[in-house]
Chain A
Amino acid sequence: MKSELTTLKANTLQGIAEAKDDHTLKQIDINILGRKGQLTDILRKLKDLSPDEKKTVGKLANEVKTDIQIALENKQKQFANSELEKSLNEDWIDLTAPGKTTQTAGSIHPLSQLQKHVEEIFSEMGFSIMDGPEAESEYYNFEGLNIPKHHPARDMQDTFFLKEKHSTDGGRTVLRTHTSPVQVRTMEKYGAPLRVIVPGRVFRYEATDASHDSTFNQVEGLLVDKGISLAHLKGVLAQFLSRAFGQEVTVRFRPGYFPFVEPGLEVDFSCLICKQEGCRVCKKTGWVEFMGAGLVHPNVLKAGGIDSEVYQGWAFGFGLDRLLMMRHKIDDIRHIHGGDLRFVRQF
């Protein structure tokens, strides 16, 4: 009887494996497991066996039954899935029909996005992010930065003045013309060593056109520590720009003049559009004018209460709007503060 069971199992499983359709499986189910099925027949004969035999053969018979049932089910699923698979290929949707959402995302202004990006890069290099007032005293905006009254450099920065005085001695209040006042404020507050950037809104009293606005945004950088050099400035700026643009960028220094740094530098970076072959953007020079920088003038360190015999460092300042315009090829700076959603939603 045992061998009968084993043979039955082997034959049935083979039959299931070879079945070509669901109908065959149903036939097997009836022929083997049905009320008049072969296995059912065998099970009926169990009662004629001795108790010992009944036990071992019974167990075997149950195992055979389970195995056959599982094999049947698996095969049935297989048939069902392949049916489904066939029907899938007959399905169709219009992939180009509009998507549906209960809540469309709004836009973060591209300037905020870029500012965040810049802040993250410098944060990763250990720079703190600082702020300062936009309505600033003449002292922090000029004198503290080594730009005394009647200095010709004040011409370079046409200034908005506020009517209200900020102190009893008649000191005037200006809208900061650069983010540099935060240099002295930060030095006063934290002393040296110092590693900060200051992104922020600045103002110039000058006529606006597609490439100049009276309100724009700068990022100031300041690193003061022991033994800090121009070579370090080049290193950090190259890192920053390479990360910001996602490709290798080289940096070039030229002499420049800003009263709060000495030596003063103009910083250019390699034109990414023409790969330094010369194009309209770089005015055929291969270099894009980008920022002012230099070693912090000892008078500025002094104004910030830092001993210039012990500490030295550099500062830089660049226009975030300009970087933004280069990044997205924006042709008119006035879009940035224009509030037009047709602009903002592009980013």
Chain B
Amino acid sequence: MQISLSWLKQFVNIPTDLNPEELGNLITLHTAEIEKVEDLSKQYTNMVIAKVVELKKHPDADKLQIATVDDGTEKHQVVCGGANLINNIPVILIKPGGLCRWHGEGDLIEVKNAKIRGIESSGMICAAEEIGLKDVFPHGPQDIVNLNDYDTSEIKIGQPLSDFMGTDIVFEVDNKSLTHRPDLWGHYGLAREIATILKKNLKPLSEFINDAKITDSDKNLPINIEDPDLCPRYCGAVIKGVKIAPSPDWLRQKVEAVGYRAINNIVDITNYVMAELGQPMHAFDRNFIKGGITVRRAKKGETITTLDDQERKLTTEDLLIADDEKAVALAGVMGGLNSEIREETTEIILESANFNPITVRKTSVHLGLRTESVQRFEKSLDPNLAETAIRRAIKLILEICPDAKLETKIIDCNHFKNPEIEIEIPIKRIISKIGKKIETEEMVDILTRLEFEVEENKDSLKVKVPSFRATKDIDIEADIIEEIARMHGYENIEPILPQLAIKLPHENPERKRKHEARAILSYGLGMDEIYKYSFNGLEDITKCLLDPKNHVELENYLSAEQTHLRSSLVPNIMNAITDNLKNFDELKIYEIGHTYLNRENDLPIEEKYICGAVVLPKKSKEEPFYYAKGILEEFMKKFHTGKLMLNAPSDNLPPYTHPKKTAIINVNGTNLGHLFTINPIVSNNFEIHNPIAFFEINFTKLIAIKPQVYQYKPIPKFPASDLDISVIVEEKTQNADIKKTIRGVDKKIIQDIKLFDTFRDEEKLGPGKKALAYKVKLQAPDRTLEDKEVEKTLKEIISALQKTGGEVRGG
């Protein structure tokens, strides 16, 4: 919302030595955020209203003309391409030094003397969008501003554009910070705040309004409200003898300064009153209203064409203003085209009403039609404002149209009763919540300036809330505290640290363990952590052979890649692999994140997963499974989980796993997830040709397992002896079986058995065979092993292996 400084000054005496930036800052600190303070005259520097006095064709360019322009004191030669440029018209001339935006785009550029196709040009005849006035002077795409085309009042050649547009300072208020403040949607409300901040007097509104009599009915304009809940108040009045004309300069400038397009005197006045008081108003052409005004819900299938020439399909939830025959306005949203003010209009009906905020908002949302009026009504306006506003508008219309006459009294259909909100609040609590001792006198002063009625008791304040703050904004103690705190100034509250009892925080092992897991995976095992979105698209899901039905679906989404919630981290990691392989040959990446699974009549099941992938170089012939396994084993060891078991898979494997290269990760009997080589079909779907293996661990389950406290084993005092044994076995013989055989020989002195090489050679070993080389470590806790003992063990191992069918070599 835009607020004009000169407008504010009508209501409160703002010291001239307070610069606008400082004032803006004060408003930001005490009331609502001022996003920008703009000096309107600045942007029009070196711009003047001038007249085209001579026009010639450009000798070397078809679309260009050479204009001589008179700015009242001197003539300028300007080359111009405006399609509508003709002689003898008033235009806007930017003299060298002025700033404009070429074709309304990009940065501001300084206009300079230049040669255009060989012809001197000193200045520029501008188009509206080049100086940010597209809304004020709408015109065709190739045109320039021809001031004759607009209903402006008198045009003075030589008048600086800043005079024409009005010199003013405009504050841009962040609308979001006014969400809860219906009283601040106009200048008067903000003036009240400024008066409080500066401790100045606020001029009463009584000076600004017409004192016409009130009636609750009039045969000249019957008003009927069908459902008072949806329209607590409707004030109307008929004015005759109106002459529609362009607004006088002061009015046009004010309206334009705060960002509205000037249209005509009546429409401008309704906008002016809205900008001043925050009350949206509407004016109907009386000739097009049959009978009286009815406020009713739309009928099923009813439509209305709104002022913007759009036909709107309505539902019975929408509220309408209708005459005896038809809908004439969409209540609180926009007027109807059928009864709009036109040049011939002489008699008008003024509307100043109060509508239910929820109804207005719902209609606005379902029609996708957000207007200045909606923005205000949805904040819960004070119904008292409806009367003030109509009185203000009547006063202005009678002033501007000397022949205009009030045909009726103000007809006030009022079903609204002032809410009497009284809040009694202990002074001690105010101080305790703010954390600073503020004098009671100051509290009372602040509240009184904000028009609260305050009764000061010994230990408490009894506060009566003014009607314009009572619709929704203020109804509890905390609201009053806010008023005192913000006007006292948050900057005057000193930071203090609370004195709280020492207490151990609630334990959250998941958080702590997540950081531990990262340290092990990244710093220990060389993996890189990534984050991906929680979404998947159908394409990702099907590429991973998953069933879309098992995914939580979004009602609304931003793109086709984000229509479902992920049930596994694998699809997005596959995407990350695809992307990163453009820059890297091999990868080790992981993500820790949530997965989401549907659950009947409850929130989705969310579990946290660690999902890691090892991607080998494209040319590698190695089995990636073992790399993922190595990382998993090391991780589990340093993560202090119990003994890791990798079990043979059951039938229910995730579809993206390789059916034969998958193991179930199990600790203490709990299945935690899978270790697997990716299903090659999935790789193909992603067009990845590198070997990839994953581990996917349910982190929620993993951390439910209490970390193990590893128990100390005495450090060996006596040296160990190593044996190297190679055994040739059938291809499908498992390492675990061989180890078991070796270990079976002598459990006491065999400390460790490691497979360190696997060798395949059909010629040397025969088909379907492999040679496995083991290092066996022998050690005794109480003595150095003698050679005899070592040899004996070796012989036993060899014979044990031979018994199982292996052909043993070396030792």
Contact = CB atoms under 8 A, between A and B. Distances in A.
A binds B: yes
Given A234-B493, A254-B29, A166 B534 contact: no
Contacts of B575: 339
Given A109-B530, A256-B177, A232 B497 contact: yes
B588 A106 contact: yes
A168 B358 CA distance: 26
A295 B434 CA distance: 9
A263 B434 CA distance: 9
A191 to B, nearest CB: 12
A341 B603 contact: no
A312 B176 CA distance: 26
Contacts of B580: 339-341
Nearest to B526: A106
A143 interface: no
Contacts of B644: none
B61 interface: no
B759 interface: no
A137 B603 contact: yes
B495 interface: yes
A263 B28 contact: no
Nearest to B478: A262
Nearest to B487: A255
Interface stretch (A9-17, A52-60, A125-133): A125-133
Contacts of A160: 554-557
Interface string B365-378: 00000000000001
B490 A195 contact: no
A255 B28 CA distance: 8
A342 B581 CA distance: 11
A337 B531 contact: yes
B502 A173 contact: no
B530 A208 contact: no
Contacts of B589: 339, 341
A105 B526 contact: yes
Nearest to B490: A253
Interface stretch (A38-46, A73-81, A222-230): A222-230
Contacts of B357: 150
Contacts of A263: 478, 481-482, 485-486
A58 to B, nearest CB: 42
A227 B434 CA distance: 10
Contact of B602 (A126, A163, A167): A167
Interface stretch (A21-29, A63-71, A90-98, A111-119): A111-119
Contact of A257 (B176, B527, B583): B176
B243 interface: no
A276 interface: no
A208 B485 CA distance: 37
Contacts of A290: none
Given A126-B500, A162-B554, A255 B32 contact: yes
A244 B283 CA distance: 58
Interface in B685-701: none
Given A225-B500, A263-B478, A134 B534 contact: yes
Interface residues of A, number: 88
B478, B493, B553, B556 — most chain A CB neighbours (10 Å)? B478
Interface string B166-203: 00000000001111110000000000000000000000
B508 interface: yes
A128 B506 contact: yes
Nearest to B36: A283
B719 interface: no
B606 interface: yes
A259 B592 CA distance: 33
A133 B597 CA distance: 12
A138 to B, nearest CB: 11
Contacts of B436: 229, 231
A297 to B, nearest CB: 7
A93 to B, nearest CB: 26
Contacts of A137: 603
B511 A129 contact: yes
Given A341-B528, A344-B530, A201 B177 contact: no
B433 A255 contact: no
Interface stretch (B50-58, B516-524, B772-780): B516-524
A235 B436 CA distance: 13
B498 interface: yes
Interface of A: 103-109, 111-112, 116, 119, 123, 126-131, 133-137, 150, 152-153, 156, 160-168, 173, 175, 190, 193, 195-196, 201, 203, 205, 207-208, 214-215, 223, 225, 227-232, 234-239, 251-257, 259, 262-266, 295, 297-298, 312, 336-337, 339-342, 344-345
11 contacts: A103-B525, A136-B603, A152-B378, A153-B179, A163-B553, A201-B593, A234-B495, A262-B479, A312-B433, A339-B589, A344-B529
Nearest first, the 10 A-B pairs at minimum CB distance are A231-B435, A229-B435, A263-B482, A253-B490, A339-B576, A128-B505, A161-B555, A234-B495, A262-B478, A128-B506
Given A106-B522, A107-B528, 18 more contacts: A106-B523, A106-B525, A106-B527, A106-B529, A108-B519, A112-B515, A127-B505, A134-B594, A135-B596, A162-B552, A166-B604, A207-B558, A231-B495, A232-B496, A236-B498, A253-B490, A339-B589, A340-B530
